[in-house]
Structures are given as structure tokens and as C-alpha cells.
């Protein structure tokens, strides 16, 4: 996902309102030079459109990259709740049920964000919580479509 923060590229965040997409594009453009401004732009987008999942992605990514893991966790947990709601899933990921195939849209975002949270917990020296999330992902996405096996391999290295 390093392409997210390429300097002059525009990112396809999907079907977003034009003003929200503009804020995200501006945030991406300034991230390398003014991280605080990028955060402000992403939070402005979130305030304007809290149902738009790519905003949460931007927030948890920049804070994870910066090592601001508590802020990354808050953004990821908020995005996870929003995605679960949009997918019609329980707010508690521990109650999610396998779908047969990994869904698109909010369901996929929810699984991807659960993977991100597992990574964040590993970085916070909480391998027990990370492993709980990874076990859920193994059950929900046995093929590893959202990339959780990479985080699982990192978790094995931590153990």
C-alpha cells in the first residue's frame, strides 16, 4: 500500500463525493512533507462523510506509518465498526460468520481492517490480541484473500 503515499499520483479511492475525494487526494499529496496537515485533511473528510470507508484507511495507515499506534488503533476500530454496520454484520468481530467467499465492499474492508488491527496490536506488543484476530481471519478468510497470512507470519516471528 505504499502507493497510497506516492507524491504526484492520484489514488482511486472508489466512488466518493467529489469534495471528500479532493480532501483525501490533498492529504495524500502533503503527507510526506506535512503529516499534521494530512491528518487534518483526513479528519475534515471524516467529519464531512463518516460513512466513507477509505477515510478510515487513510487515517489508520498514516498513524501506523508514523508509529502513532494508539491513534491508528482508534481509526481502525472506528472504520471496522462502520464497515461491519454497512455489511450488516455484528459490531463485535468475534461474532462474525464465514461468508463462503470473501465479500466485496464493506465486508472486505472489515476483514482488511481486522488484519490491520492485528498488525497494530503486534506493533503494540500485544501478540495475544493480534493472534485472536488472526485466528478469526483464518476462519473468515481461509484463503487469505485480504493478506492476513503476512501478518500471521510476522506474529510467528514475534512469538
Cα distances (Å, whole numbers) of residue 106 to 7, 35, 65, 144: 27, 27, 23, 17
Please give the class, per CATH, of domain 2-158: mainly alpha
pLDDT in the model for residue 101: 83
- Which pLDDT score is estimated for 102? 83
Query: In this predicted structure, what is the pLDDT of residue 33?
Result: 94
Residue keyed to cell 454484520: 89
pLDDT band, residue 1 (cuts 50/70/90): very low
Residue of 85, 90, 55, 61 lying closest to 73 (CA atoms): 61
Choose among 42, 46, 36: nearest CA to 4. Answer: 42
Written as nine digits, the cell of 44 is 475534515
Q: What is the pLDDT of residue 159?
A: 63
Residue range 9-36, pLDDT digits in tens = 689 999 999 999 999 999 999 999 999 9
Q: Looking at the predicted structure, is the pLDDT value of residue 91 above 50?
A: yes
For the whole model, what pTM was predicted?
0.91
Is a pLDDT exceeding 80 seen at residue 158? no
Per-residue pLDDT, 8? 52
Rounded Cα distance, 11 and 29, in Å: 10
Segments making up each domain of the chain, as ranges: 2-158
Q: For the chain, where are the E strands, in sequence order?
A: none
Q: pLDDT tens-digit profile of 99-131?
A: 888 889 999 999 999 999 999 999 999 999 999
pLDDT (tens digit per residue) in 52-70? 999 999 999 999 999 999 9
SS3 percent helix, strand, coil of the chain, rounded to 5, is: 70, 0, 30
User: Do 113 and 80 contact (CB within 8 A), yes or no?
Assistant: yes
Amino acid at each position: 500500500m505504499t502507493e497510497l503515499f506516492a507524491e504526484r499520483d492520484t489514488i482511486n479511492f472508489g466512488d466518493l463525493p467529489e469534495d471528500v475525494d479532493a480532501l483525501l487526494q490533498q492529504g495524500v499529496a502533503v503527507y510526506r512533507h506535512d503529516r499534521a496537515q494530512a491528518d487534518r485533511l483526513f479528519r475534515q473528510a471524516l467529519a464531512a462523510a463518516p460513512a466513507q470507508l477509505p477515510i478510515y484507511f487513510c487515517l489508520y495507515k498514516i498513524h501506523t506509518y508514523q508509529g502513532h499506534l494508539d491513534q491508528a488503533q482508534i481509526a481502525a476500530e472506528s472504520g471496522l465498526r462502520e464497515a461491519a454496520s454497512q455489511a450488516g454484520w455484528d459490531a463485535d468481530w468475534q461474532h462474525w460468520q464465514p461468508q463462503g467467499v470473501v465479500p466485496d465492499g464493506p465486508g472486505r474492508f472489515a476483514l482488511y481492517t481486522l488484519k490491520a488491527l492485528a498488525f497494530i496490536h503486534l506493533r503494540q506488543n500485544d501478540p495475544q490480541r493480534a493472534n485472536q484476530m488472526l485466528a478469526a481471519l483464518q476462519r473468515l478468510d481461509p484463503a487469505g484473500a485480504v493478506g492476513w497470512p503476512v501478518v500471521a507470519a510476522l506474529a510467528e516471528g514475534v512469538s
